[in-house]
């Protein structure tokens, strides 16, 4: 009995040791894909699989997820730890955020999209056409996805967008055998960091080279535009946001939106704050700080000066209101009324930056026609 027990223990230790050794060798032989700006994911390519590790699926997350991508019919090698396996190349996909749409289109895989929550918010003409033709099914809304319709679609993978880890719909989908992976592009704080998430999508379709090429182009365009205003001596002061009920909501100094203003040669008046999200201030403090600002960018959903005045007559106390230097993204919409800025902007920060440079320093891009940001209607 003792001998049998001893042999069993030794065999168990051997098997455990072999598995550990195999995993360590596999990790050592992997090639990590270059991710320069994004901090929320890593990709490592091995001989028989690709590993995607998402470390920031939502704000302040203490969870991370490991996704293993294998060719169809191939198992995950022994000793490899993971949360979800996805067989690739994917032929049917469901995504859950409009920011995912431009990545699919850039990779030429938009026709593989089978379902989306709240399709009315999709602005892109290509994908909008697929919605209109019934190729993309309506799935309700992200927090309460119609799981019956989604499961009937039998997608190869669902790319989830989550505010936290408590979306019960995703648990139902996973229990049905459909892989769910989380995309945290929206958590990134830098413009190029958000755009680099196109590399997250690429391995699901075998489009890594195309993603590298697309991102390199966006990166070069962004950096070249930024260089145009790198040495400007006069930086216009900039206000952003607007009142919502009794609170003025505007970007924090370390946020994505604030970074654009800085890179475009603007002096954002709350640049010194440490917030990576939004600031919530009272009207008086904003007026105190920004009454004489040179420009007012992104006054939420307002499209015209009359609309702004009707909402709050005190907006007229700001110099940008009087001198008509307010610019908005809310006039650039898709057929369903969705804001192209929120859909395409995170994927094309080079266009956003050029828009703002043209506004702040028109002499640097004199022939440029802004795409997202337009003057308020007078």
Instruction: Encode pLDDT of 150-190 as tens digits.
Output: 999 999 999 998 888 788 899 999 999 999 999 999 999 99
Beta bridge partners of 94: 115, 158
- Whether residue 15 is predicted with pLDDT greater than 70 in this model: the reply is no
Which helix (H) or strand (E) segment holds residue 180: the answer is: strand 180-182
- Average of per-residue pLDDT across 14-39: 62
CB of 320 closer than 8 Å to CB of 291: no
Q: Model confidence over 189-198: pLDDT tens digits?
A: 999 999 999 9
- Would you state the pLDDT for residue 40? 97
- Whether residue 12 is predicted with pLDDT greater than 80 in this model: the reply is no
- Average of per-residue pLDDT across 234-244: 97
What percent of the chain shows pLDDT beyond 90? 87
- Whether residue 9 is predicted with pLDDT greater than 90 in this model: the reply is no
Look up residue 376 and give its DSSP letter.
P
Contacts of 23 (CB under 8 A, 6+ apart): 79, 80, 81
What's the mean pLDDT when you consider all of the chain? 91
Q: How far apart are CA 114 and CA 93, in angstroms?
A: 6
- Whether residue 144 is predicted with pLDDT greater than 50 in this model: the reply is yes
- Would you state the pLDDT for residue 22? 34
- Whether residue 347 is predicted with pLDDT greater than 60 in this model: the reply is yes
CB of 165 closer than 8 Å to CB of 63: yes
Q: Residue 25: which pLDDT band, with cuts at 50, 70 and 90?
A: very low
- Would you state the pLDDT for residue 181? 98
Burial class (CB in 10 A: 0-12, 13-18, 19+), 333: middle
Residue ranges and CATH numbers for the domains of the chain are 21-218 (3.40.50.1980), 229-375 (3.40.50.1980)
- Whether residue 141 is predicted with pLDDT greater than 50 in this model: the reply is yes
- Average of per-residue pLDDT across 231-256: 96
Give SS3 for 327.
strand
Terminal-to-terminal C-alpha distance of the chain: 92
- Would you state the pLDDT for residue 18? 37
- Whether residue 98 is predicted with pLDDT greater than 50 in this model: the reply is yes
């Amino acid at each position: 009995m003792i001998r049998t027990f001893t042999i069993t223990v030794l065999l168990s230790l051997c098997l455990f040791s072999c598995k550990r050794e195999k995993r360590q060798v596999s990790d050592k032989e992997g090639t990590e894909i270059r991710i320069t700006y994004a901090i929320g994911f890593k990709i490592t390519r091995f001989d028989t699989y690709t590993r995607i590790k998402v470390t920031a699926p939502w704000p302040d997350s203490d969870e991370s997820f490991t996704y293993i991508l294998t060719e169809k019919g191939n198992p995950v090698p022994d000793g490899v730890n993971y949360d979800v396996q996805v067989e690739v190349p994917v032929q049917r996909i469901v995504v859950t955020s409009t920011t995912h749409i431009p990545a699919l289109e850039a990779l030429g895989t938009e026709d593989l999209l089978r379902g989306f929550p709240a399709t009315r918010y999709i602005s892109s003409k290509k994908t909008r056409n697929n919605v209109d033709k019934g190729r993309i099914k309506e799935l309700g809304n992200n927090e309460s996805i119609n799981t019956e319709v989604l499961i009937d679609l039998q997608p190869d993978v669902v790319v989830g967008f989550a505010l936290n880890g408590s979306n019960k719909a995703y648990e139902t989908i996973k229990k049905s055998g459909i892989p769910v992976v989380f995309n945290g592009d929206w958590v990134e704080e830098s413009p190029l960091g958000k755009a680099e998430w196109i590399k997250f999508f690429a391995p699901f379709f075998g489009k890594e080279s195309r993603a590298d090429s697309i991102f390199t182009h966006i990166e070069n365009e962004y950096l070249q535009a930024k260089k145009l205003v790198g040495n400007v001596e006069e930086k216009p002061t900039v206000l952003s946001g607007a009142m919502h009920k009794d609170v003025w909501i505007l970007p924090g100094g370390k946020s994505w939106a604030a970074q654009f203003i800085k890179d475009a040669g603007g002096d954002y008046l709350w640049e010194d704050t440490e917030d990576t999200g939004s600031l919530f201030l009272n009207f008086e403090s904003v007026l105190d700080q920004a009454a004489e600002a040179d420009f007012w960018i992104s006054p939420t959903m307002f499209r015209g000066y009359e609309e702004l005045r009707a909402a709050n007559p005190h907006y007229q106390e700001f110099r940008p209101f009087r001198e008509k230097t307010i610019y908005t993204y809310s006039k650039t919409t898709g057929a369903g009324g969705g804001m192209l800025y929120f859909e395409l902007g995170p994927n094309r920060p080079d266009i956003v930056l050029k828009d703002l440079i043209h506004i702040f320093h028109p002499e640097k891009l004199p022939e440029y026609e802004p795409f997202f940001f337009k003057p308020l209607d007078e």
